[in-house]
Every structure is written in structure tokens, then in C-alpha cells.
Amino acid sequence: MQLGFVGLGRMGGNMVHRIHRDSDHQVVAFDPNAGAVSTAESHGATGAGSLEELVSKLDAPRMVWIMVPAGDPTEQTVQTLAGLLQSGDAIIDGGNSKWTDDARRAEELRAKGIDYVDVGVSGGVWGLEVGYCMMVGGPEEAVTRLTPILDVLAPPVNEESRATIGDRGWAHFGDSGAGHYVKMVHNGVEYTIMQGYAEGFNLLHESPFGIDNAKVAHLWEQGSVVRSWLNSLAARAFEQDGNDLDSLEAWVEDSGEGRWTLEDAIERRVPMPGLAAALFERFESRDRGDYAAKVNAALRNQFGGHAVKSRS
């Protein structure tokens, strides 16, 4: 199978690498950074110097996966591709777009006969090795065409588990927008869980016993009901940066999905007090950061490679 791929950053580059490492599919890759294209070529991809060249190297019906920042970069890329692609082709947005933008784009592209698939991707910088969890929205026929790629990118699922959960490390949830809607809520849940860990480790850090948080996190992975990948990453962060996390500023960024989740919850009158508190704690960290904010910042860096502010 042939796939166009736009955006070769922390996640996109690894996704192209995984496709070529684990399958016979062929990727034509473009990024404004020529070095990123060269890296993709070293993994087996065919490089392109522009969107026009990328489209010219794909056989119809074409499928082009976009992995660029949400907002204007994605919008501009979609609009440019819409002018280059033809009826029967498909655009896949794997970034963190707002689901309402997906629904609008799908309607606009439908008039041109171009399918639009939205894929909410979770897995961060670890996805190359362990695979990506993908939440998919879009027309059934286009998703079916994309299935071989989704199967390669997803974590391996044994046949017994597949019979239970019904899918292969990814799932199709409905029309365009559904994938990013599920991913939006996923990230809202993520905010809340991270805040819980941050507050717990903060209290342990302030305890009178000189408790080693790395030791606690490792212990909690041994059969505890709060064991999780995030907790494992907390242990890793404490080992890398020290129990006091002295090298990190207590500043926690947010990339938008938590806000969108809360806005939608308000619109639908669905109580989400945990997420509200977690989001507001991120805002407050920028004025009054504490140890809990350092834990949150460290976790974001561990799973997604998100930038942290280091203390000079």
C-alpha cells in the first residue's frame, strides 16, 4: 500500500519509521525541514520537496496523512491538498484538531469527492516501539482502505484479546470528527489522572519521612490498583531528575484539548469537576508553581516529549 505523509516531527517521523520497519507499505514523505525528510528516506521512505511533488508521486486513489500542529498549520495543509487531490482521494488528519473543524472540513471536501478521516493518536514518543492507540472517525469505505496502515501503527493485539475488544489497537467511532472527539475526551481524562498523581507525590514529598518518590512509584507498579504507564513514567522522571525535580520549573503547559473537553461538557451540562480543577491548576502553575506542577511537567515531557522549562 502507498501512503503520502506530511509532517515528520517527534511523532510523525516515528510513525513513518514504524510503517517501513514493520511492513512492506511505501510512504512518500514531506516536511518543510529537509533534514527530517532525509531521516525518513534513511528509513525507506520516498522523499518529496513539496506537497505538489508528494501528490505527483502517489498513485490514484491517493491517501495523504497529515501530522502537523493543530490550527492554522493543519488548515493550510488541508486546503492546499484539497486543490491538488482528485475525487476518490482521501486526507487523514492525525494531529490534535478540534472535532468541529474535522466535521467542517469533511463537509467541504465531500463536495469535491475527497474523503476526510480524522485519527486521534495517543502514544507519544514511545509509539515507535510500543505502537499507537488510534481513535478514528470518517467514512467507512475510506477507513477500510486505511486499515492496513492502522494495523501496522497500532500495538500488537493477540487473537484472544481481539475477540474480546473487537478491534486491533484502533477503533472506528463514526463520522468525521468522532475520532478527535474521543481523543479530546481521552486527553481530558489524562489531565485529571496526571493531577491526581501530581498531588499524591506532592504530599509524599512534603511528608516527615523523607520518602523517595521513585521508590514509591516503582512499588505501586507491583500489583497496586493505581499502577499505570503514567505512574511508570513518574518513576522514570524521578530517577532522571531527582526526587526533588530541582532542574524543572513548576510550569505546566496545556495544548488545548483539556479546554475543549471542558467547553463541550459545559455545553452538554455534563459535570467534570475533576478536569476543571486539573486545568485550573495548570493555569495557576504559571503564577504559583509548586512541586505538584513539577510532577505534571515531568510527566508531559516523559510521554510526549513536550518541552519543559529548566531552572538555570
DSSP symbols for 271-300: --HHHHHHHHHHHHHHHH--HHHHHHHHHH
> What is the pLDDT, as a whole number, of residue 64?
98
Residues 6 or more apart whose Cβ sits within 8 Å of residue 39: 8, 13
Distance from the first to the final alpha carbon of the chain: 49
pLDDT in tens, 24-74: 999 999 999 999 999 999 999 999 999 999 999 999 999 999 999 999 999
Specify which residues 115 forms β-bridges with.
90
Q: Which residue has the cell 487531490?
A: 85
Residue 46, H or E segment: strand 46-47
Burial class (CB in 10 A: 0-12, 13-18, 19+), 306: middle
* Distance of alpha carbon 54 from alpha carbon 49, whole angstroms: 7
Give the largest CA-CA distance in the chain: 67
For the entire predicted model, the pTM comes to 0.92
pLDDT of residue 176: 98
Nearest to 142 by CA among 181, 88, 105: 88
Active-site residue list: 183, 190
Q: What's residue 311's pLDDT?
A: 64
Whether residue 25 contacts residue 59, with contact meaning beta carbons closer than 8 Å, is answered with: no
H or E stretch covering 3:
strand 2-6
The residue written with cell numbers 472540513 in the block is: 105
* Ranges of the chain with pLDDT below 50: none
CA atoms of 69 and 71, how far apart (whole Å): 7
AA letter at 108: E
